[in-house]
Amino acid sequence: MKRTVALTALLALAPLMSACALVDRFFGPSGPPQTAEILPGQVEPVHSAFIAHDQAVFRVTSNGCTTKADIIPVVRPSNDGPIITLRRIKEDRCAETQSEGASISWTFDELGLPSGSRLSVDNPYQMPPT
């Protein structure tokens, strides 16, 4: 009788033990893997993007004070070529809204890209204010 109870308890616990092993195998002892990278600032909507002649030119919203130093380009690799995301690190608090926005550009050298790279833009597009 004792053997039957011990065998039943062992069989009941076996699936639980294997589930723990699977969780540790796939997620490690610290839980699920972290995939989100912490990046500075906020994603900046763009009014236009022009990529040619080893240069990336963007038009972004400006209240009159936006400069290149206020926006940082984040370039990440992908299977289809590098992807650029502009992130605003300093808010433009001026009061003179520029209807055409501000034009900001980077050379491929500044972006760390080889000449002739195919570059995709990950920012949302926004119509300029009218």
Q: What is the per-residue pLDDT across 59-115, written as a single tens digit (0 to 9) for each?
A: 999 999 999 999 999 999 999 999 999 999 999 999 988 888 999 999 999 999 999
Q: Say what the pTM is.
A: 0.69
Q: 37-62 burial by CB neighbour count: b if 16+ within 10 A, else e?
A: eeeeeeebebbebebeeeebebbbbb
pLDDT of residue 108: 97
The residue behind tokens 């490690």 is: 28
User: Quick check: helix, strand or coil at residue 71?
Assistant: strand
Burial class (CB in 10 A: 0-12, 13-18, 19+), 126: middle
Q: What is the mean pLDDT of the chain?
A: 81
For 39, 58, 94, the CA distances from 36, given in Å and listed in that order, are 9, 25, 32
Read off the DSSP letter of residue 110: H
**Domain-wise residue ranges, the chain:** 42-121
Overall average pLDDT of the 16-31 stretch: 47
pLDDT of residue 3: 58
